[in-house]
Structure 1
């Protein structure tokens, strides 16, 4: 195999990753593979948030013959009607909602997919569990540390199946790589790295506020976030670059990649976090979140470094995005395209056997949604590939990285007291819900 070919396989672009693994399934494909099953075997799914990953998650689940979509909910009726029309092509006729609370009153709904902006996940997941529904929730699970903790508490209280869409945990090459890390063959690991170098990013142009588009319930879209005039930059996909609704690349990609470190190292929350970065690549564009950021986490017996850059595609080890477990015998490199082991050397003698690039070979999203449906049937919560506990843990770690950056301080975390050593950092642990919405309270 040529060097260029190997480099391509190891450095698959973000665009190719999205289209090859996470793209929604065309209706004609679903029509060809769906089979009729007994109504007694039906699992009735509802989707809250019908654009983007919500639609990909739903169409992935619809590959399973027992899954029926009986309800759709979105505050943008343009999106809602488009998805309803598409489902009609395969003779699926869901009930339509613009208020998720009305959807949760539907007794026929067994489980919901939550794929709204991050600032909505906590409210909707807890409300769904309280209504007796199982939940498949998008990552990051929350937009704050406290919300993530409440979501875990709610899942326990109501004893519901809650799977987080960190689908890498279901993909075989990630499982194999983490198994290798846990085998001990790398030797003692004291340093790990994660990174996303987002080549192809362009400035988000500053746009004026404008009237709310027809068919959009913008007040409901804002929900508990600060009241603001409508601006297209903060709507649909671009919401992830504004602190009111999300945490930028740190939470968008960080949860996927950092999750592998926490999994492989059996780590929980760090003892200390420090960060630097800002808007260096596109200093005048409309985004609030940093386009370049470096975070150092101290877990007492090892460190993790997170890096992201929106102006370059040349990341560490020649990989645009990736994860590195750096052991005394060698380094394991892992990303969505595959994994390998590069031995350390002493006097030109390898300290361990090299492992050539192990190429990705399956569809992580399909395996992840199938795992969710299987656990819905078995009720064996321990068999979930990414339960709410795992999703909350990595979200909390990512929020800590952003908190360190936003405060400009090295922050120390006291797990027993559930707080930082900094008053400024503690102010960012939980969000300030507005517009009449209240942060949920979960009582035993």
Structure 2
């Protein structure tokens, strides 16, 4: 009850989420709250992406990072020991303390608490929300436990490692009436938003083709493949958590863990939550998805270090006969092709068949989509307003669903017919079973 009371207390404030009219619905409500009231954050996962998010939240008013958690005290990611930026619990505490000391203009008092077990962090009554930047195989477990503890959650993409985990996450968000933001930051970028509005306002005419271009996967090991004893400052068994404990090697740990399906979904699942997420936004299928998915031309690296595809293509069909390809062979980014023109968007660039569409001051039309210009701030604003974030759990789960289906299609060797409304593979029991599997290593579970 104490966390529910806290949530009610945080329910309303002067903060606003910047919704287009009628685009989002209220999630909760509460008492008036002073604009000086602070949102306390805990950060789980202190690698490179976790540090990026720490920097984002340190720049924002109205919040304070009060706790951090990682199973590794100190590391240098994939670099040689002692080279480059230091990550992990000890450097994170120092980084945050120094930032707050600089803001306050005084010597730090060491107020940040660190944990090696995220469950201790989420038990704290004074933490309102958590930021999760762990490897993918921990996303669902950390998220669901945090939601059950009464926390709002910001979790990096892909929202979950396994398909059914994603369903359980968005169901728990609804059950707890929580605020959830996926780290699909492209939704808070003006160029991606403009490309979506060009499509939504009908300037492309009838859209018939979508090209989603993603980077190649790992063709060969990205680091040292020698099996070694885990570093003493790392709790490797806890790092593996609900997934199998593979022999420790640097080629499969910091940065490169996503090359093996035990811990990630390869570059495919790393990037599909970016560019295909914008494709779904543009096609207005955030609560739906494709009608069929087929994996073609997949190739894998030799050896057993990685088992995710280096080359891959997904052929998808959406309602109305729209053909989509998600492939390493497409130009990296998103291209929407219609009867009256095309638009291409990627990070920092928007191109189109009509020169005016690419001009910064161009207004696509009357249809406006949810506008956010700062992804982290959008999360904080929505904690206060209790309205949905720009990248909620079910939306981002559905935008990566073609990737999950692609892995199943490749495994069974055939096209899958997809009932997007009910999230079911049609007429293929073998594929359905593979899609829904969650085989956690004991004693870990999602119940």
Pairwise TM-score range, normalised by the shorter structure: 0.7 to 0.9
Q: 1:236, CA displacement in angstroms?
A: 1.9
Please state how far the C-alpha of 1:366 moved relative to its aligned partner. Answer: 7.2
After TM superposition, give the deviation of residue 243 of structure 1 in Å. Answer: 0.7
Alignment correspondent of 1:87: 96
For residues 123-142 of structure 1, give each alpha carbon's deviation from its aligned partner in whole angstroms, at most 9, with x where no partner exists. 11111111011100000011
Q: Tell me: CA distance 1:296–1:165, structure 2 relative to 1, closer, same or farther (3 Å).
A: same
Q: Structure 1 residue 423 and structure 2 residue 429: aligned?
A: yes
CA offset digits 1:278-336 (Å, max 9, x no partner): 336x5458321111101101113112100126xxxxx53xxxx1101100011111111
Higher helix share: 1
Distance change >3 Å, CA 183–CA 365, structure 1 → 2 = closer
The 2-side partners of 1:201 and 1:366 are apart by 36
Aligned-partner Cα distance in 2 for 1:244–1:278:
19
Comparing 289-298 with 231-240, greater Cα deviation is found at 231-240
Q: 2:252 aligns with which of 222, 228, 234?
A: 234
Three-state SS of the structure 2 residue aligned to 1:71 is strand
With over 3 angstroms needed to count, the CA separation of the structure-2 counterparts of 1:239 and 1:358, relative to structure 1, is farther
Query: In the aligned structure 1, how far is the partner of 2:250 from the partner of 2:425?
Result: 36
- Partners of 2:337 and 2:139 in 1: how far apart? 34
Any conservation in 1 of the 2:153–2:179 contact (CA below 8 Å)?
Answer: yes
What is the SS of the residue equivalent to 1:426?
Answer: helix
Q: d(CA) in 2 for partners of 1:329 and 1:170?
A: 27
The within-5 A match list for 1:239-250 is 239-250=257-268
Contact 1:205 1:286 in 2 (8 A): no
SS at match of 2:178: coil
Counterparts in 2 of 1:287-306, with a 5 A limit? 287-301=306-320, 302-306=322-326
Does structure 1 residue 278 correspond to structure 2 residue 284?
no
The equivalent of 2:82 in structure 1 is none
Distance 2:228 2:220 in 1: 22
Q: 1:41 aligns with which of 27, 34, 37?
A: 37
Q: Which residue of 1 aligns with 2:375?
A: 368
Task: Check whether the contact 1:46–1:109 (CA below 8 A) recurs between aligned residues.
Answer: yes
Change beyond 3 A, Cα 1:66–1:84:
same
For 2:49, which of 47, 53, 56 is the aligned residue?
53
Q: Distance in 1 between matches of 2:192 and 2:181?
A: 18
2:444 alignment partner, SS class: coil
2:402 paired residue number: 397
Matched, 1:137 2:179: no
* 1:206–1:286 contact (8 Å) kept in structure 2: no
1:205, distance to aligned residue in structure 2 (A): 5.2
Q: Distance in 2 between matches of 1:74 and 1:365?
A: 30
Q: 1:365 to 1:59 in 2, by over 3 A?
A: farther
Q: Which residue of 2 aligns with 1:349?
A: none
Is it true that 1:169 corresponds to 2:169 in the alignment?
no
SS across alignment from 2:328: strand
2:344 corresponds to which residue? Answer: 333
State the Cα distance separating 1:206 from its structure 2 match: 6.4
Match of 2:72 in 1: 76
1:163 is paired with a residue of what secondary structure? Answer: strand
Q: How many pairs align?
A: 378
| 5+ residue gaps, structure 1 | 1-37, 310-314, 344-352
CA–CA distance in structure 1, aligned partners of residues 51 and 407 of structure 2: 29
Shift of 1:41: 1.7
C-alpha distance in 2, partners of 1:278/1:200? Answer: 12
Is 1:307 the counterpart of 2:327? The answer is yes
1:208 CA displacement: 2.8
Describe the SS at the equivalent of 1:428. Answer: helix
What residue is the counterpart of 2:439 in the other structure? Answer: 432
CA distance in 2, matches of 1:172, 1:356: 12
User: In the alignment, what sits opposite 1:146?
Assistant: 164
Report if aligned partners of 1:225, 1:435 keep a CA contact under 8 Å in 2.
no
Q: Is the 8 A contact 1:277 1:405 kept in 2?
A: no
Q: Does 1:410 align with 2:410?
A: no
Cα 1:406–1:132 change in 2 (3 A) is: same
Matched residue, 1:219: 237
Secondary structure of 1:204's partner?
coil
